[in-house]
Structure 1
Amino acid sequence: MLAIPAGLDPDLLRSFVLIAEGGSVTRAAQRVGRTQSAVSMQLRRLEESLGHSLLTRTARGMVPTPRGAWLLERARALLALNDEIVATLRAPPMVGTVRLGTPDDYALQWLPGILARFAEAYPAVELDVICMNSDVLADRLAAGALDMTLLTEGHEPPGMTSRPLWRGPLHWVGSPRHALHRRDPLPLALALAESDCPWRNATLTALSKAGRRGRVTYNSATQTGCFTVALAGLALTVSTPGALPEGLAWLGEAEGLPPLPDMGIVLMRHPASVGEPAADAMASHIIEGFRGALVPGIARAA
C-alpha cells in the first residue's frame, strides 16, 4: 500500500485501531467480519513486528499502552490516507460536464488553484467556465444555463442552493502615482448602474455618509475594466482584498477615504445539479479552496 510505510500491514493496523477504539477484541472481530482468534493473532503479529506491547487488558477493557497511544493517533491518519488512495485509484473515472460561472475578479483571485486541483483529480470531467458580472450569472443560473456560479452577495436568485464562501471588507484601489483621492467630486470606476451592484451602492453610500461627493466617470461590467481605468489614473475603484495588478495600490484612511462595508461571496447551485457526482465534486473543491485560502487583509474563508 502506498500510504503505509514498509513493514506495516494496513490490515494489522486496522485491527489494532478497532480493538483500541472498542476496547474489545470481540467488537473488533464483529466489525471486520473475522473470528476473535484471527483478530487477536493480527494484534500479536503487529506487536511482534514493532517490538512493543500496544494494548493491555484492564477492568475497562483493552486500552492502549503509552506506545500504543502514540501509534493509535498515527495509525488513524495512515489508514485514512491509505483508504483515500485505494478509493481514488480503484474507482471508475468520473465523467460529465460542469458549467461554472464566476465574476472575472473572483476567477483571477480564487479559481486558478481550485480548477487545477479539480482537473488533476477528475481529468475526464469537462469544465465550461463563463466569466460575467453577477447579475447576468444569476439570470443564467435561474434559467438552467449554469450548474453553479460564484456570485457577489445580494444577487442570489430565489430557489437555488446557496453556500457562503467568504465575507470581508471592500477596499479602495487606485494608482499611487495620482492624487485622485484629493479630488472633489471623487472620480470613480464602478459597475454599471443598471446592474444594481451591491459594491456600487455600498461605495456611493459610504462616501455620502462621510460627506464626500463621488462621480462615476466610468461604468464597467467587469472588475478588469475598472482596474484598467484606475491604472490609467482616471478614477478610483473598489475590490475585495487580494493580488492587484502592478501599478495599483490599496488606499484608505491615510488618503482620507471612508471605510467600506463587508461584502460576501456565495456559491449558488441550480437544484438540478445537486446530487450529480461531477457537480458535487466541483462544489466541494470550491468550498475547500475558499476555506483553505488566505488573502492579505482578510480572515480565513468561512
Structure 2
Amino acid sequence: MFDPRLLRAFTAIVDAGSFTLAAERLHMTQSTISQQLGRLEDAVGAILIERSLRPVEPTATGERLLGYARRLLALQQEAEAAMGDPVGTASIRIGVPEDIFNAAMASTFSDFARRHRNIRLDVTAGLSRDLKRRYRNSDFDIGVFKESQPDPDCRAAFAEPMAWFESIDVPMGLEMAKERAIPIPLVAFQPGGLYREAMFERIEREERRWYVAFAASSLHNVLVAVEAGLGLSLLPVHAAQDYRVRRYAPFGMETPMVVALYSWEGAGAVLELVDAMQATLAARAALFQPHTEPVSIRT
C-alpha cells in the first residue's frame, strides 16, 4: 500500500515540473518533498522522476505509476467526502522523550486538536537517540530530542539542567563520597540511553570504582529505582521533582544538555503546532532558569 502523502508529493512534482514549485503548493520545504519522493522510489524500486530535465518529467516507470497515483488520490478524496466528517483524516507524527510528554505538553496537543478536528496527532515517546534516528528517516513530522548539541536545522533549543540524585529515604552516605575504595552503585538506562554514557564519563573522570546495580528502559523506572535506594543516577532536574529523591551533593551539578525542537515543514497547521510546542518548552525551561532567557533558535 502506497502512502497517499508520497503519492501526492509525486503528482505535485509532475504537475509543477519543479521540486521548488511543488513544495510551495504543498506548503512544505523542498528537502521534505524530495525526501518523500525518495521514499516512494524506494518503495517502487525504481526512479520515478528524471531530475536532470528542466522542467522535470516522469520516467517511464513514473508515467506508469502516475495514472494509478491520481486514481488512488481521487478515491481517497471520494472516501473522505462520503464519510462526511473529516475528523482524523490527516495526521501529524510526533516523537518526544518520555518526560517531555507531560501534562503541559498534553494540554498543548489537546488545544491544537480541538482547533483542527481533521488532524490526528500520532505521538511516540521513547529514548532521544532512537527518536532522532527515526525523525531523520522521516518517520516523524515533528521531533523533540535531548542531546549535547542541537543540529543547525533545529527550530528551538532550551537548556536542560542535569544533576546526580540519590534516595531521600535510603541515602548513599558520606562515607561513600569520601572513601574512594567503595564502588559506587549506579542506576542507569539500558545501553544507548543518553544519560548513561554521560554518567559513566563523569565517574571515570572522578577515577571512582562503580557498577550498574539496576538498569531500565524508562525514565520512570530509573527514578523509582533511585527512590528505593538502589544507587545514584544522573538525571534531568525537571524529571526528578515528583519523586522522593534529592541531589547528591558530593557530585553537584553537571553540564546542561539541550532539549531541541525539529520540524520538516514550516507552514500551515504543522507550524502552528510547532510554535505551540516551542512555547510549552520555553515555559518548562523557565521553571528551572528563572533568571536566564531560554536559548531559542528559529530557522
Give the TM interval when normalised to the shorter protein.
0.5 to 0.7
Q: Does 1:101 align with 2:95?
A: yes
Amino acid at match of 1:180: M
Is 1:172 the equivalent of 2:170? no
How far apart are the structure 2 equivalents of 1:249 and 1:119? 36
Task: Spell out the pairing of 1:61-76 with structure 2 (5 A cutoff).
Answer: none
Q: Deviations over 1:189-248 (max 9, x none)?
A: 22222x1x4422222222333343332222223212211211222122232222536542
Structure 2 residue matching 1:152: 3-state secondary structure: strand
- Shift in Å at residue 110 of structure 1? 5.4
Deviations 1:73-132 (A, max 9, x none): xxxxxxxxxxxxxxxxxxxx9973111111112213752332233234434321111111
Q: 1:95·1:278 contact (CA, 8 Å) conserved in 2?
A: no
2:210 is the alignment partner of 1:214: yes
The answer to whether the 8 A contact 2:170-2:228 is kept is: no
Shift in CA distance, 167/146, structure 1 to aligned 2, threshold 3 Å: same
The answer to whether 1:279 aligns with 2:270 is yes
Q: Secondary structure at the match of 2:102?
A: helix
Q: Give the 3-state SS of the residue equivalent to 1:292 in structure 2.
A: helix
Following the alignment from structure 1 to structure 2, what is the Cα–Cα distance between the partners of residues 242 and 100? 21
Please report how far the alpha carbon of residue 137 of structure 1 lies from its aligned counterpart in structure 2 after TM superposition. Answer: 0.8
Distance 1:207 1:259, change over 3 A: farther
Within the alignment, does 1:192 sit opposite 2:190 as a pair?
yes
Aligned residues: 202
Larger radius of gyration: 1
One-letter identity of the residue aligned with 2:123: V
Q: 1:119 aligns with which of 113, 119, 122?
A: 113
Tell me by how many angstroms 1:279 deviates.
Answer: 1.8
TM-score under structure 1 normalisation? 0.58
Once residues 219 and 262 of structure 2 are traced to their aligned partners in structure 1, the CA distance between those partners, rounded to angstroms, is 20
1-structure distance, mates of 2:246, 2:104: 19
TM-score by length of 2: 0.58
**Counterpart residue identity of residue 170, structure 2:** H
The structure 1 residue matched to 2:133, chosen from 131, 134, 139, is: 139
- The RMSD of aligned alpha carbons is 3.0
User: Partners of 2:232 and 2:186 in 1: how far apart?
Assistant: 5
State the partner residue of 1:161. Answer: 153
The secondary structure found in structure 1 opposite 2:165 is strand
- What does 1:1-302 correspond to in 2, within 5 Å? 96-108=90-102, 111-154=105-148, 161-180=153-172, 182=174, 183=176, 184-193=182-191, 195=192, 197-242=193-238, 244=240, 246-253=242-249, 256-269=250-263, 271=264, 274-275=265-266, 277-294=268-285, 296-298=287-289, 299-302=292-295
- Identity in percent: 17
Deviation of the 1:179 alpha carbon: 1.9
Structure 2 unmatched ranges of 5 or more: 1-86, 177-181
Q: Contact 1:164–1:264 at 8 Å: present in 2 too?
A: no
Does the Cα contact within 8 Å between 1:173 and 1:248 map onto a contact in 2? no
What 5-or-longer segments of structure 1 have no aligned partner? 1-92
Q: Secondary structure at the match of 2:100?
A: helix
Inter-partner Cα distance in structure 2 for 1:259 and 1:210: 14
Alpha-carbon offset, residue 260 of structure 1: 1.3
Change (3 A) 1:98 1:292: same
- For the residue of structure 2 that corresponds to 1:106, the secondary structure is coil
The 2-side partners of 1:222 and 1:99 are apart by 21
